[in-house]
Amino acid sequence: MDTELLGSLIDRLAGALELYARQWLEQPEDVVQEAFVKLAALSTPPRNPAAWLFKSVRNGAINAGVAQRRRRRHESAAATAATAWFEANPSTPGEVALDPESAQAALAGLSAEQREIIVAHIWGGLTFEQIADLAGVSASSAHRVYQAGLKALRERLGVPCRSIPSRPTRS
């Protein structure tokens, strides 16, 4: 397809195509872009490129909208049926019992980096060297992020940090 014609079609129809596709899905930009890419890749341009674009956008938007709704239903069902991230802490002498929902909310409230490192280390059993390789950071950075995440969790949950006995100074 002639690049000048393609540019003219984009200028003239992109907004209208997005508006047209919006009746089937919330964010139609990708579907519209995909239609223009498909048009540009055709070896023989259609007789009426505008009509072809509208048909392509319609089909793409309907398919994407169905997938979007299916994904939302699945995510909603999974969220309501999902087991809690934490189990209630049995009454163990010296242990602080945490509410599982509060612990889950506190973990979800951490930065993605902190959450990733904490879960990988505590529940995944990965070393900081393995986490460093996984996350693309140094082992010392992974450890610092881990410590900061634990501190944030303790603050959010109102759990005191363990006190470390100070070493006696030598005179």
98 within 8 A of 159, measured Cβ to Cβ: yes
Amino acid at 129: E
Q: Which of 29, 25, 8 is nearest to 17 (CA)?
A: 29
Amino acid at 10: I
> Taking the C-alpha atoms of 23, 25, 30 and 34 in order, what is their torsion angle to the nearest 10 degrees?
-60
d(CA 60, CA 56): 6
pLDDT for the residue 112: 87
pTM of the entire predicted model? 0.47
pLDDT for the residue 134: 86
The Cβ-side half-sphere exposure at 94, using a 13 Å CA radius, reads: 1
**Where are the chain's structural domains?**
3-81, 100-157
Give every CB contact of residue 94 below 8 A, 6+ residues apart in sequence: none
pLDDT for the residue 84: 55
d(CA 165, CA 41): 70
Architecture per CATH, 100-157: Orthogonal Bundle (1.10)
Topology of the domain comprising 3-81: Rna Polymerase Sigma Factor; Chain: A (1.10.1740)
Phi, psi of 58 (to 5 degrees): -60, -50
pLDDT for the residue 50: 92
Amino acid at 139: A
- What is the residue-level pLDDT of the chain in tens, covering all 171 positions? 788 999 999 999 999 999 999 988 989 999 999 999 999 999 998 999 999 999 999 999 999 999 989 988 888 777 666 555 555 555 555 555 667 778 888 888 899 899 889 888 988 888 999 999 988 999 999 999 999 998 898 888 877 655 555 555 555
